[in-house]
């Protein structure tokens, strides 16, 4: 089952935290951020793609070194739809934050300082998407799918946002 299918399943399952309101809030925040920064929708897609990929790598490393519970704890603690610098710092060292900003700048032409200012909003949004799968007991299937290295390896946060946007009409 694909990541988007897992998210839709979480929305439909009363035992999971996902809701259409949560997905709508995430999409609205991305649109506001795009409007506030003057970033085009294609720039925002590239930005989300890079940030989502780096969040996945950081969570995979955390899971490998500290266990699945540690990765879930980061998602549970820092998921949200507002800026939270602690979310960025929990996953990325200052040097890694610079690398993420450089990757995005190379893909989009956006100013690195602007990108660094957007990270505290984007990282909690990505984590919020992942939090939709939390179950009262027994783990988070959305997070597990996102971190599944045995899958096709092509989980792209920008694609997720587009699918969610289309689904919500």
Residue 29 · residue 22 · CB < 8 Å: no
pLDDT in tens, 33-89: 777 777 787 888 888 888 888 998 999 999 889 988 899 999 999 998 889 999 999
**CB atoms near residue 1 (< 10 Å):** 10
Spatial separation of the C-alpha atoms in residues 110 and 47, rounded to whole Å: 9
Please state the rounded mean pLDDT for residues 100-107.
92
Distances (CA, A) of 63 to 40, 49, 70, 103: 34, 21, 6, 24
Mean pLDDT over the full length of the chain = 77
Contact 38, 22 (CB under 8 A): no
Who wins on pLDDT, 102 or 49?
102
Domain that holds residue 21: 3-168
For the entire predicted model, the pTM comes to 0.72
Nearest to 19 by CA among 123, 131, 124: 131
- Check pLDDT > 90 for residue 17: no
Q: Is the pLDDT at 118 greater than 80, yes or no?
A: yes
Domain count of the fold of the chain = 1
Cα distance between residue 143 and residue 54, in whole Å? 14
Structure tokens at 124: 């909690």
- The two structure tokens encoding residue 167: 């689904």
> Which distant-in-sequence residues (6+ apart) come within 8 Å of 61 by Cβ?
none
């Amino acid at each position: 089952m694909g990541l988007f299918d897992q998210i839709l399943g979480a929305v439909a399952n009363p035992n999971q935290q996902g809701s259409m309101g949560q997905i709508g809030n995430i999409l609205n925040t991305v649109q506001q951020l795009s409007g506030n920064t003057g970033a085009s929708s294609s720039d925002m897609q590239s930005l989300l793609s890079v940030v989502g990929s780096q969040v996945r790598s950081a969570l995979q490393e955390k899971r490998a070194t500290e266990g699945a519970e540690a990765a879930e704890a980061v998602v549970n603690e820092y998921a949200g739809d507002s800026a939270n610098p602690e979310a960025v710092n929990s996953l990325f060292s200052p040097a890694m934050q610079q690398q993420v900003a450089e990757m995005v700048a190379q893909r989009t032409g956006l100013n690195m300082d602007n990108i660094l200012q957007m990270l505290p909003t984007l990282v909690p949004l990505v984590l919020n998407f992942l939090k939709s799968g939390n179950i009262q007991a027994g783990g988070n299937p959305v997070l597990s799918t996102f971190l599944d290295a045995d899958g096709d390896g092509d989980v792209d946060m920008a694609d997720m946002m587009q699918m969610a946007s289309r689904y919500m009409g």
